[in-house]
Amino acid sequence: MKNFFIKHLNKKIAAIFLFTVLFTASCYAQKDDIYDNYEVFDSHFHITNYIQKGPTIQEYLKIMGDKVGRTALFGIPLQQQWSYMNSGPFAPKYYLDSDAPLYYYSFTDAYIAMQYLSLNDDDKKRFDPMITGFNPTDMYAVDHIKRVLTTFPGVFSGIGEFTIHKEFVSPKVSGETASLNNPALDSIFSFAGEAGLIVLLHNDIDKPFPKPYVANYLQEVKDLFRRHPETTIIWAHTGLGRVVRPIQNHFGELRKILEDPTLSHVNFDISWDEVAKYFVKNDTSLQLAASLINDYPDRFLFGTDEVAPSNQESYLKIYYMYQPLWDMLTADAREKVKKGNFKRLFDAARIKVRAWEKSEQDADGTAHQNK
């Protein structure tokens, strides 16, 4: 009888909590309209670099200034090893600075959480921290993500940016090579869908300098996405990179994804200056990009992909690189890519993840009471 009473009481408490979360989120949405006065939101920002250095979050707020209203905040999940036998007294700061390996750096999540928790309540509303410090080849990765959520409730909205296939990076990572077909990755995507976490994935659409020019990873990544229809996914950079060029009919292949009802949960960010150079390369690329985004304005987000910037000028260089694209978008599409889609996706994630965290707290409380 006692357990029956506790069980039904917890259901009532959960229902009341969910109503409170939804009501509070609605109030926040009204209050957060102040952030709509900023020019842009940033869906892809690394506050730390490959040796875990960068500005404090208070310093970053100053860099955001009066331009950037909200940011998806994360570090770098990989640490560049300083191998004296490889580079001697030269301390590498980037993955191209050394032949020494990269390794997963799980403490990044605690660091990001503590940075976020150092803010006042108003400034916290401007950030959506993301969990990145897990190994996507590890079947225990989901346990890490759960542990971060329950250790720092009320903080995180998603996972990523994390990497499966990335030019020059993937071969340097210590341990097992990541794969789009690894059951560990599927378990991560499945849990993200269950908890409401946004997934921000870096996966190149192709191999570097492919011969012939074919999309080596396109079918595999689409298959992965189709296996997880309940998960909100952002495919970083539309699959492009420094030497991963647009595939043949690149914008046409993106259009096929956007037209596919089995991939309606997939979004793209257009972050990184290496990506912008392809979009604004010439009148043809601009026209193709603008046409695609104008036709599907709900599926694209702007991001900088800047890493540990020291000033606003360097931080926003990619934003201004895209000016020719902004000029070719409709007013509705421009607003959605710059701010609206960020607000819609991340606000929904906040509600779902907070509800999952609450359900875990209730389950733990019931377990302790039943002992």
Contact 265, 230 (CB under 8 A): yes
- Is 2-370 a CATH 3.20.20.140 domain? yes
Q: Which helix or strand (DSSP H or E) is residue 267 part of? A: strand 266-269
Strand order in the sheet with 300-301: 300-301, 266-269, 233-235, 198-202, 158-163, 127-131, 68-74, 40-46, 306-307
How many CB atoms are located within 10 Å of the residue 152 CB? 19
pLDDT tens track, the chain, 371 positions = 444 444 444 544 444 444 444 444 444 444 556 788 999 999 999 999 999 999 999 999 999 999 999 999 999 999 999 999 999 999 999 999 999 999 999 999 999 999 999 999 999 999 999 999 999 999 999 999 999 999 999 999 999 999 999 999 999 999 999 999 999 999 999 999 999 999 999 999 998 877 665 678 999 999 999 999 999 999 999 999 988 988 889 999 999 999 999 999 999 999 999 999 999 999 999 999 999 999 999 999 999 999 999 999 999 999 999 999 999 999 999 999 999 999 999 999 999 999 999 999 988 776 656 65
> How many CA atoms lie within 13 Å of 339's alpha carbon, on the beta-carbon side?
17
Collapse the DSSP code of 221 into the 3-class scheme (helix H, G, I; strand E, B; otherwise coil) and give the result: helix
Q: How far apart are CA 257 and CA 8, in angstroms?
A: 44
SS (H, E, C) 131-161: ECCCCCCCCCHHHHHHHHHHHCCCCCCEEEE
